[in-house]
Amino acid sequence: MRKRVLALFFASLMAMSAVTGCGSGAGQKETTAAAKGSEGGETSAADKGAEGEKVTLTVFDGYAGEDPHGQYIYKYAEEYMAENPNVTIEVQAVSTNDIYTKLSAMAATPDDVPTIFFTSADAVATLHDLGLTADISGLVPEDLKASFANGVVNSCMLGDEMSYFPVAVQPTAVIYRTDRFKEAGLEIPKTWEEFVETAKALTKDTNGDGQMDEWGFDMVGSNNSSGQSRFMAYLWSNGIECVTEDNGTWATDITEDQKFMDAFSRWTNMNVEGIVPTGITEVDYPTAANYFAMGYASMFLTGPNALGVAYANNPDLKGNLGSFKMPGDYPGTMLGTEGYAVSAHATDAEKEAAIDYLRFFVEHDKDMQFWQSSGKIPATAEGQKAEYVSGEDYAGFLQQIADGCRPTVKFAGVSGLKSALGNAYASVFSNEKTNEEAVKTLISDINELLEDYN
């Protein structure tokens, strides 16, 4: 029942697939790259595992269409194929928001599912529930598992299954303009009330035309996965779990009590107070990342990948950016491990070749070009020693990792939960509903969703 509901839910979202994911606008395009190496050469692990047979790995890749790091997806694939001539890798660039709708629509036609596909901690439970992800626990060598940073392998586990292969970690924190904080004499906010006051102090009319043109908080207000995930992280940091499990039964702590109403209205009221960009419902991740890079905003709730975007678009920001943990008394972020799942419908030879390629992906480039250009934090312990993550700009992310993050979401209906949350804040931003009306609808939607999982 749940799989049918999920597949129908995602299929219904296909009409919205033009929404851009967590990357540049280039992430919307779909391109395919394939190449074959010459015959001969040394026998790789993939050769041995597949007994020399030729293997084609198809990849749905959320990174490949993004700038500036997408180029390395193709580069690494080409380099691997040069060393492993029996393996062909076909990369299809699909935005991260679109990958999940496409994969879910494919659940009824397993032959169409790519061999490898991008996934993240807030989506893998849904894909697992649809039967799309292979358990790679026995395919990943123990020495490779040991090479990942503390907590990374655990973040990829769903029960006893290792559900995907980690490439990077993306905990959520706040990146900010250290120069503007110093100029205004501001301290790092520890609570969300302090955060709002800090954002007010950083919101300015710089040209004197009566309109604010520099905002304190670079909120992603779009009703898509990027905006929904940030809002859910914000709720977590306020001590709101959204859904909890007790002996196999799912429940929600989203109610009309004062705790939730205060948190919900604080978020939506930031738009009323004018401390977030105008036209907030149209501010998706690429727009917000560009606003921050161009100096239109001073604080940005995001993953470390936004640092890569900022520096690529405005190198002058080097030395003027820092990061701090999310405000609040509770962990507002998972480790944010992202990487690639292997299709449950792949052959044994394809699965073994896929793991061999993914090992090559995370181990062969000692210069960490993909990670450094993207701003992402490597999943390996050695990668996290890279010089580029040692400065003030990564300090908040690394502090969050050190202090502990939330466990990976296990609720298979998380995509439906996020959609309900997005509909709630979007209805207030667009003046369709009051905070109270939006919360009533939200509670009804979540309770209806939970019926499909209990």
Burial string for 151-169 (b: 16+ CB within 10 Å, else e) reads: ebbebbbbeeebbbbbbbb
Mean pLDDT of the region 84-105: 92
The answer to the question of residue 402 being in a domain is: no
- Please work out, in degrees rounded to the nearest 5, the angle formed at the alpha carbon of residue 74 by the alpha carbons of 286 and 376: 45
Q: Are 116 and 163 in a shared domain?
A: yes
Question: Which tokens is 102 given?
Answer: 């496409």
The answer to the question of residue 152 being in a domain is: yes
Question: pLDDT confidence of 427, banded at 50, 70, 90?
Answer: very high
Q: 65-79, 99-113, 242-256: which has the minimum mean pLDDT? A: 99-113
Please tell me the distance from the alpha carbon of residue 176 to that of residue 448, in angstroms, as a whole number.
39
Q: Are 93 and 189 in a shared domain?
A: no
Q: Give the pLDDT confidence score for residue 11 in this predicted structure.
A: 42
Q: Give the pLDDT confidence score for residue 42 in this predicted structure.
A: 42
Please tell me the distance from the alpha carbon of residue 452 to that of residue 9, in angstroms, as a whole number.
12
Q: Give the pLDDT confidence score for residue 409 in this predicted structure.
A: 85
Proportion of the chain above pLDDT 90, given as a percent: 79
- Please work out, in degrees rounded to the nearest 5, the angle formed at the alpha carbon of residue 162 by the alpha carbons of 343 and 13: 50
Q: Are 154 and 204 in a shared domain?
A: no
333-358 pLDDT tens trace: 999 999 999 999 999 999 999 999 99
Higher-scoring residue by pLDDT: 195, 51: 195
Peptide bond into 68 cis (omega under 30): yes
Q: Are 324 and 362 in a shared domain?
A: no
Q: Are 440 and 359 in a shared domain?
A: no
Proportion of the chain above pLDDT 70, given as a percent: 89
Q: Give the pLDDT confidence score for residue 224 in this predicted structure.
A: 92
pTM over 0.85: no
206-239 pLDDT tens trace: 999 988 999 999 999 999 989 999 999 999 999 9
The answer to the question of residue 403 being in a domain is: no
Q: Give the pLDDT confidence score for residue 52 in this predicted structure.
A: 65
6-59 pLDDT tens trace: 444 444 443 333 333 343 333 333 444 454 333 334 444 444 444 468 999 999
Mean pLDDT of the region 389-407: 93
Amino acid letter for position 350? E
Q: Does the pLDDT of residue 4 top 60, yes or no?
A: no
265-297 pLDDT tens trace: 999 999 999 999 999 999 999 999 999 999 999
The answer to the question of residue 215 being in a domain is: yes
What is the domain-level CATH number for residue 264? 3.40.190.10
Provide the 8-state DSSP code for 71. Answer: H
Q: Give the pLDDT confidence score for residue 27 in this predicted structure.
A: 35
314-333 pLDDT tens trace: 999 999 999 999 999 999 99
What residue numbers bound the domain in which 15 lies?
2-170+335-392
Instruction: Give the residue from 380, 400, 378 showing the smallest Cα distance to 389.
Output: 378
The answer to the question of residue 397 being in a domain is: no
Q: Are 83 and 165 in a shared domain?
A: yes
Q: Are 318 and 444 in a shared domain?
A: yes
Q: Are 217 and 312 in a shared domain?
A: yes
In total, how many domains does the chain have?
2
Q: Are 66 and 141 in a shared domain?
A: yes
Q: Give the pLDDT confidence score for residue 123 in this predicted structure.
A: 87
Mean pLDDT over the full length of the chain: 89
Q: Are 210 and 343 in a shared domain?
A: no
Q: Does the pLDDT of residue 5 top 70, yes or no?
A: no
Helix axes 258-272, 414-429, angle to 10 degrees: 50
